[in-house]
Amino acid sequence: MTPSMYANQIRIMTTTKLAARPCKLPAAFWRSLERLGLSPPAVLRAASLPATLHLDDTVFISTSQLFAIWRAIEALSGDPAFGIRMACETSSAQHMIAFVSALYAANWRDGLERIVRYKRLCSPDELRMAEQDGKMSVTSAWPDGTAPEPCISVEASFALLVELGRRGTGQRLAPLRVELRRRAPGSDGHAAFFGCPIRFGAQADRLVLDATQLALPFRGHNPEMLGMVGPALAAALREIEAQANFEQQVRAALRRAFAAGRADVAMVARELGLSERTLQRRIGEEGKTFRLLLDDTRRNLAHQLLSDLSIDVKEVAFLLGYQDSNSFNRAFRQWEQVTPLTWRRMTAGHASLLVSRQSLPDN
């Protein structure tokens, strides 16, 4: 998609009514707190939550608990810009999985769309982006009846999007303006980071970007670098280097397209430098169809990703290019007759049994 396709029109990325749902805080979140000098147990206690909750990566929390954690972070840090620091002072490799994936997008727009899709899959809120007259406006939406999002949480999200553009392009990009509900703080952390006019005390939080900057290419656009996400994805992407035949080239292109959420004939054909018709013909010459290769590649990659217990099931859906977790669950049921979570538990149990048997002493 070219910038001209978006000119002089409003583009709403999602308008669906949101339903309340629990979420998980990734390990990267707690590591970021520790690096900046905050103790996760202290934060959890201040939020009236179990002090060891951060040690259990299977625990889901409600939106009200999430907000309580953010409020505790600001109270204990005493720094209104602490959320911004979490975004900009965390190394790329230590960020959440969506940020790592987005860094290797083609450009800032592509990276933002990956973050939006990740939010839709893995978070109780959604980022909504509207484009008009050369400006991209970003807001956050929560289910009806949700209490106002803590200011520190909003600002961390906005900072993450700006930091994505800066690290991806290698330029110190600045928004056109930022509107924040927060009253003007006594420190200059917000102004120093955003580098643009900030309106404090606004009715709603809004990040306004220069739409022309969204097409700036990302320096690290290289799908193989997605191996940073985890060992399972790294192993899956090694095949990119070994394109012995045309089918393997198509499968490698599909893997690269999954994370972008656009694994279709047009995208694969474009990447391989072929017309869609030629792509379909060459696949047919090997006795396959594009749909067959797409489903089989996605199924195999799903197995590899689910085998890595550090990747949440919703994150697997994101990395496979699904727009929502229900679509992934339906597809996986068709493949394996069980849900992804059930398959993970079954295979993990089988692996544990094999290890225990191998550790038995010989008689």
Q: pLDDT tens for residues 70-123?
A: 999 999 999 999 999 999 998 876 777 778 778 888 899 989 988 888 887 778
Which CATH number does the domain housing residue 154 bear?
3.90.1520
Which CATH number does the domain housing residue 322 bear?
1.10.10.60
Is 122 domain-assigned? Answer: yes
- Residue pair 30/56 in contact (Cβ under 8 Å)? The answer is no
Q: How far, in Å, are 62, 162, 218, 287 from residue 169 at the CA level?
A: 35, 11, 5, 42
- Residue pair 277/288 in contact (Cβ under 8 Å)? The answer is no
Dihedral, CA atoms, 218, 178, 151, 313, nearest 10 degrees?
A: -30
For 151-164, the pLDDT digits (tens) are: 999 999 999 999 99
Pair (250, 304) in one structural domain: yes
Tell me the percentage of the chain whose pLDDT exceeds 90: 47
* pLDDT surpasses 70 at 14: no
**CA atoms of 235 and 283, how far apart (whole Å):** 24
Pair (198, 227) in one structural domain: no
Q: What pLDDT, on the 0 to 100 scale, is given for residue 119?
A: 82
Per-residue confidence at 360, pLDDT binned at 50, 70, 90?
very low
105 in helix, strand or coil?
coil
**CA atoms of 65 and 87, how far apart (whole Å):** 21
Stated pTM of the model: 0.67
Is 111 domain-assigned? Answer: yes
Pair (204, 75) in one structural domain: yes
Pair (156, 274) in one structural domain: no
Pair (77, 24) in one structural domain: yes
Per-residue confidence at 310, pLDDT binned at 50, 70, 90?
confident
The first and second tokens of residue 26, run together, are 């990734």
Is 363 domain-assigned? Answer: no
- Domain containing residue 152: 3-215
Pair (261, 144) in one structural domain: no
The Cβ of residue 162 has, within 10 Å, a number of other Cβ atoms equal to: 25
The values of phi and psi at residue 107, to 5°, are -155, -175
Pair (197, 306) in one structural domain: no
Pair (193, 60) in one structural domain: yes
Pair (141, 287) in one structural domain: no
Buried b (16+ CB within 10 A) or exposed e, 92-114: eeebbbbbbbbbbbebbbbbbbb
Residue where a domain stops, chosen among 194, 215, 236: 215
Indicate the residue type of 155. E
Range in 45-54, 184-193, 239-248, 319-328 with the lowest mean pLDDT: 239-248
Pair (124, 254) in one structural domain: no
Residue where a domain stops, chosen among 184, 215, 246: 215
Is 361 domain-assigned? Answer: no
The Cβ of residue 12 has, within 10 Å, a number of other Cβ atoms equal to: 9
Pair (144, 276) in one structural domain: no
Pair (189, 250) in one structural domain: no
Total residues belonging to the chain: 363
Is 286 domain-assigned? Answer: yes
* pLDDT surpasses 90 at 136: yes
Is 43 domain-assigned? Answer: yes
Backbone angle region of 118, left / alpha / beta, with phi > 0 → left and psi within -120 to 50 → alpha: alpha
In 123-264, where does DSSP find H-type helix? 151-169, 189-194, 231-237, 246-258
Residue where a domain stops, chosen among 185, 215, 245: 215
For the chain, state the CA radius of gyration.
22
Q: What pLDDT, on the 0 to 100 scale, is given for residue 257?
A: 78
Q: Give how many domains the chain has, as a whole number.
A: 2
- Residue pair 11/134 in contact (Cβ under 8 Å)? The answer is no
**CA atoms of 290 and 106, how far apart (whole Å):** 24
